[in-house]
Each structure stands twice: as structure tokens, then as C-alpha cells.
Structure 1
Amino acid sequence: MTMYAALLRGINVSGHKKVPMAELRTLLTELGHGDVRTHLQSGNAVFSSASDDENALAAELEQAIEKRFGFPVPCLVRDGGYLAAVAAACPFPAAELEGRQLHITYYGQPVDAERFAGIDAAAFLPEEFRLGDRALYLYTPDGLGRSKLAGALFRPALNKGRIATSRNWNTVVKLVEMTASTGTAHDGARA
């Protein structure tokens, strides 16, 4: 069995697209997954599965969520090894930063450097970004809410046709921990 994280995009924000975590855990269990747990209310779940197809797992979850809740929710599914490798490859000094200063945006497909070539990185300093394979690392010293670079990187025209969802460093680390082992509930949230 492989441990996965499901990263749901755009749920439970300002009262829109409400997906209670207890119901998400139930849904994942009903889909036949084990070791189901959630983290926070922003769409982070971990589970074990015998499947080795992240895209099929994501599509199955998207369909089940739309059927259960009545609205579409883009989902990415990544295995624990991948999450750990992305965290380990972070080009910024994560141990020296606050979790709110560092974010990873996970993409549904490989990141195309040409898509971001038009961004004048020097104009946004001290904010910085680096690209990974299916990830973008973003350093925002004053936090994401005040970031001008984030606005440039995530404008709809630049990301058209791509599934992407961001997590702050604290959540990245927690998901790596949660997918590295089984049996430990977080926040009392075990199916």
C-alpha cells in the first residue's frame, strides 16, 4: 500500500464550496482507501491505496466529491515519496524561515519554465520563486497575503488549463510526516 496526499483546491474558503473534513474522510473510506486522515480545513487528506495511478485516484475523488457535494473540486494526488522529495529539494532555507514565508504550489503536470519567462523576477525582490518538476517554490518574506509576486505568478492567464494548489511550508512538512507513516491521527481526525 502506498500513502498519498489528496490536495483539494479552493474548498472551505469564505463559506464557499464547503466540504467538511469528516465527510471527506468518510468519502475516501467509502472509495476503499485506508489510513484516512485530514489536516486542517483547507482540503488536505492522506490515505493509503494499492493503486499506483495518482491521476486515476484524483479523477475518482473529483467525481465522488461532485456527486456528493454538487460542485466540482479540482484535486491533485501525490504519493508520500514525491512530497518528501519536493520538500527536500526546496531551494530556500526552509529551516530559517517562518512557515508563512514559504509556499509550494503543486501542479497537475510538469511546470513549463517558458510560461513564467515573462515575469521580471528582479522587480519583485526580496520575494523570489523557483521552479521544480511539478512544483513552484515561492518565498514571500511578508507572507502570501501581501505578496505582489504571488499575484503575478497565479494570474489566470498564466495558469490557464492547469490545476494548481498551494500550501504553506508548515502544511507541506505536516503532509510529508503524515504520508511517511500510518496510524497516527492528527487533530483527532481519523476515519
Structure 2
Amino acid sequence: MQETIKYIALLRGINVSGQKKIKMVDLREMMQQLGFDKVQTYIQSGNILFEAADPDPASVAEKIGTAITKTFGFDVPVLVKTRKDIEGIIDQNPFKNPEDLQANRIYYVLLKDVPEPALVEAFRQETYPNEKFFVSEECVYLCCLKGYGQAKLNNNLLERKLKIGATTRNHGTMMKLLEMSSSQQR
């Protein structure tokens, strides 16, 4: 039997303000029909844990995106990471102040591709009141002192500035995804 890899798929922009509605039961069923194993979802914002034999996260993301378009009738950007990738991203978070972590001020903007160095350097020169950020190759870490809802520095702005696709999750969601995937890690 071929060894499987524990993946976490992050969908961007579903079930937000009544747009791109997908029921999690239907999403799980679609994933199982694609041949993925041990499929779980977490909350309605499009977090899917599953196992697959395909060693290429980009190929897996494309397969899921194509299936979503066919099944639900609209395009959804899909980012797929391994459990190990998610663990590394969390470990590299430069904002570890317990007060910020508990107050839900920490966000991870997971990047679809590595941003161009010139764009990163230009972005690093910018400042945003009540917001701190750090850019890595696969994530922009945000500390939003007044909360993400009040932040100017959001997913859409980062996609424009860095010219790449992204999806955002809060620290609590990232930790829960890591926890849920840990018992099935290979």
C-alpha cells in the first residue's frame, strides 16, 4: 500500500457574507469522491484535513479547485499545505506575545507562491497604524492590535501589494488544524 501524506487544504472566500456557499458535508463528500482519505472539515471557512498519496501539494490543490468548480459552479482559490508545512509556519511566527495570542490578534496570511523580493522589500517599507507584520517566503504574519476587522492590512491588500494569491487564518484556527492533523500525521 502506498504511503499517504497528511494535507490541509485552505479555501479562500467561501461562506462569507452569503457568497460562494458550500456545505461542509457536501465538501467532504466531494473530497471522498476524489479519492482522498480521512477527510475532515473544520468550521465553515473552508479548512479541509485529508490524506492523499500524491506528493505534490500544487497538483492536489489544482485537483480540488477543479472539482469545486465542477461540483459547486464557481471558482475558489485553494492552497494545500502538508501538516509539517503548517507546523513550520506556526513555529516561525515572530509574534509570540501571550497577550496577543490570547486576544486573537495574530493572523497568518498564507501565500500561494514565493513573492518577488523587490515587492517584499517595497512592502516592508510601509507602515500601518496598530498593525505589525513580518514577511516570509510562504506567509505574512500579522499582529493586528485592534483586531483583524479593523485592520487596513488585510488579505486583499496583501494580494495586491505582493501580486500573489493568499488566504488568511487566525492563530486559533491554525493551532486547531495542527491539533486535528497531529493524530494522523505520517
Question: TM-score surpassing 0.5?
Answer: yes
Match status 1:21 vs 2:24: yes
* Alpha-carbon distance in structure 2 between the residues aligned to 1:123 and 1:33: 43
SS of corresponding position for 1:109: coil
Give yes or no for the alignment of 1:150 onto 2:154. yes
How many Å apart are 1:125 and its aligned residue? 4.2
1:2 aligned onto 2:5? yes
Where structure 1 has 5 or more consecutive residues not aligned to the other structure, the ranges are 184-191
Say whether 1:169 aligns with 2:171: yes
Alpha-carbon distance between aligned partners in 2 of 1:127 and 1:99, rounded to the nearest angstrom: 14
Cα displacement (A) at 1:127: 1.4
Secondary structure of 1:124's counterpart equals: coil
Moved more, 124-133 or 110-119: 110-119
Count of residues in Structure 1 that have an aligned counterpart in Structure 2: 181
Which residue is equivalent to 2:115?
Answer: 111
For residues 92-143 of structure 1, give each alpha carbon's deviation from its aligned partner in whole angstroms, at most 9, with x where no partner exists: 1153323520000111111334214334757424411001221110000111
Structure 2: distance between partners of 1:99 and 1:175: 19
- Which of 49, 58, 63 matches 2:52? 49
Q: Write the letter of the residue equivalent to 2:78.
A: C
Shift in CA distance, 109/120, structure 1 to aligned 2, threshold 3 Å = closer
Provide the aligned C-alpha RMSD in A.
2.1
Deviations 1:151-183 (A, max 9, x none): 7x72553244x2210000001111111222239
Report deviation, 1:2: 1.1
In structure 1, which of residues 72, 75, 84 is the aligned counterpart of residue 75 of structure 2?
72
Higher RCO (C-alpha under 8 Å, 6+ residues apart):
1
What SS does the aligned partner of 2:41 have? strand
Q: Tell whether the 8 Å contact from 2:115 to 2:162 is kept in structure 1 after alignment.
A: no
- Runs of 4+ with deviation above 3 angstroms: 116-123
| Equivalent position SS for 1:174 | helix
- Structure 2: runs of 5 or more not aligned: none
For residues 114 and 177 of structure 1, the distance between their equivalents in structure 2, rounded to whole angstroms, comes to: 36
TM-score by length of 1: 0.86
Q: 1:99 to 1:82 in 2, by over 3 A?
A: farther
Counterpart among 32, 38, 41 of residue 38 in structure 1: 41
Q: Taking structure 2 as the reference length, what is the TM-score of the superposition?
A: 0.89
